[in-house]
């Protein structure tokens, strides 16, 4: 069994071999730029690892794995336009470095490029992989739509939030794993267990992200701490806080959310202190553990030896206990 690091190495070299120097440069250059920004390559690595559970080779999974990674980066590109985000991973986003139209059109062709990679799945697995990919891609757009809609809503239920992050984040991880299983020749049950493993680990992963935004270490997290708090993002923490707050605490929280004059540092500190008073950190951690345990139970059911599953298990631990 190859380790996660060895596998991300394979993914990275394969990604680097994709040619974005084609003409018109103005269209393809931004794609190379986005992909060169890095990222952990977790999704394509998962595709290869899942494939590797059922066969000794990675080859049938590589192209669809790259398709999933290209698609993931496409969603970041278009989301950054919609969110007016100027910086990603320390570098200017495409719509900032070029312009909105370039970001729209390069994104469009990037989505097509993702499909072209998916289309290189071995032909006997093409139809199920393609259908899963399209369904997932549509769900991710649905998740993004809910995310945008929630911003403008006064109240979002915890369950609605979990469904939104399932669509926006978890389904692509699940798709990555199931695609690997399919191309590895897994039976339908095992492919489905890996899908469910992905959904649950994806939900846990996003809750971890919500936690890191408030309780993470800025030096290792890579993003500014408190970014979600500053833009009143309705994360699992804030949704639960709004649900639980009563009396004075409720007024304090409303005031913090509505204030347009409060200093960033002060707002982050005060909202965090409300979170602490209400114990929403623990609520979030508990929910995260709940999904993590469900994920592991799904992985346990996959009918291959424990030795083979070890790397995926280690990756799950790594994602849960990460500090970045």
Site for its own copies in 119-138 (CB under 8 A): 119, 123, 126-127, 130-131, 134-135, 137-138
Residue 254: both structure tokens together: 């409303």
Residue 30: both structure tokens together: 């931004």
Phi then psi for residue 91, to 5 deg, are -125, 155
141 touches its own copies (CB under 8 A): yes
Residue 91, burial from CB neighbour count under 10 angstroms (0-12, 13-18, 19+): middle
10 Å Cβ neighbour count for 255?
11
Each residue 17-56 as x (binds its own copies by CB under 8 A) or -, in order, gives ------xx-xx-----------------------------
Distances (CA, A) of 51 to 21, 98, 183: 31, 38, 6
User: Of 149 and 218, which has the nearer Cβ to its own copies?
Assistant: 149
Position of tokens 């495409």? 94
User: Of 108 and 285, which has the nearer Cβ to its own copies?
Assistant: 108
User: Of 127 and 155, which has the nearer Cβ to its own copies?
Assistant: 127
Phi then psi for residue 38, to 5 deg, are 95, -145
Q: Tell me 157's DSSP state.
A: -
User: Of 81 and 302, which has the nearer Cβ to its own copies?
Assistant: 81
User: Of 80 and 228, which has the nearer Cβ to its own copies?
Assistant: 80
Each residue 78-117 as x (binds its own copies by CB under 8 A) or -, in order, gives x--xx------------------x--xx-xxx-xxx-xx-
Q: What is the sign of the dihedral through the CA atoms of 302, 69, 119 and 17?
A: negative
User: Of 142 and 285, which has the nearer Cβ to its own copies?
Assistant: 142
Q: Identify which range of 118-126, 176-184, 192-200, 203-211 contacts its own copies by CB under 8 A.
A: 118-126
Residue 243: both structure tokens together: 């649900």
Nearest distance in Å: CB 68, its own copies: 14
Read out DSSP for 163-203? HHHIIIIIHHHHHHHHHHHHHTT--HHHHHHHHHHHHHHHH
How many chain residues bind its own copies (CB under 8 A)?
A: 35
Residue 82, burial from CB neighbour count under 10 angstroms (0-12, 13-18, 19+): exposed
Nearest distance in Å: CB 37, its own copies: 20
Q: What is the contact surface with its own copies in residues (CB under 8 A)?
A: 23-24, 26-27, 78, 81-82, 101, 104-105, 107-109, 111-113, 115-116, 119, 123, 126-127, 130-131, 134-135, 137-138, 141-142, 144-146, 148-149
């Amino acid at each position: 069994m190859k380790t996660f690091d060895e596998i991300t190495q394979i993914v990275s070299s394969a990604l680097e071999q994709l040619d974005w120097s084609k003409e018109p440069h103005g269209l393809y250059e931004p794609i190379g730029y986005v992909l060169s920004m890095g990222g952990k390559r977790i999704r394509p690595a998962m595709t290869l690892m899942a494939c590797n559970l059922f066969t000794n080779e990675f080859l049938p999974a590589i192209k669809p794995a790259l398709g999933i990674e290209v698609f993931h980066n496409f969603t970041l590109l278009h989301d950054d336009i919609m969110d007016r985000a100027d910086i990603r991973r320390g570098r200017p986003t495409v719509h900032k470095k070029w312009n909105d139209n370039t970001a729209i059109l390069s994104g469009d062709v990037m989505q097509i490029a993702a499909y072209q990679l998916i289309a290189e799945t071995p032909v006997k697995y093409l139809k199920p992989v393609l259908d899963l990919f399209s369904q997932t891609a549509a769900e991710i757009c649905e998740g993004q739509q809910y995310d945008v809609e929630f911003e403008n809503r006064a109240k979002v239920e915890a369950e609605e939030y979990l469904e939104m992050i399932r669509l926006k984040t978890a389904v692509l991880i699940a798709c990555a794993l199931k695609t690997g299983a399919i191309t590895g020749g897994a039976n339908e049950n095992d492919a489905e267990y890996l899908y469910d493993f992905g959904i649950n680990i994806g939900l846990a992963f996003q809750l971890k992200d919500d936690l890191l935004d408030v309780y993470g270490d800025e030096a290792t997290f890579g993003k500014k701490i408190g970014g979600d708090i500053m833009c009143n993002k309705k994360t699992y923490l804030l949704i639960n806080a709004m649900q639980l707050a009563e009396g004075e605490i409720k007024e304090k929280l409303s005031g913090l959310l509505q204030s347009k004059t409060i200093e960033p540092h002060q707002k982050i500190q005060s909202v965090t202190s409300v979170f602490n008073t209400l114990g929403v950190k623990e609520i979030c951690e508990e929910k995260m553990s709940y999904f993590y345990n469900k994920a592991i139970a799904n992985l346990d059911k996959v009918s291959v030896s424990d030795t083979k599953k070890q790397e995926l298990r280690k990756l799950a631990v790594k994602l849960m206990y990460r500090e970045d």
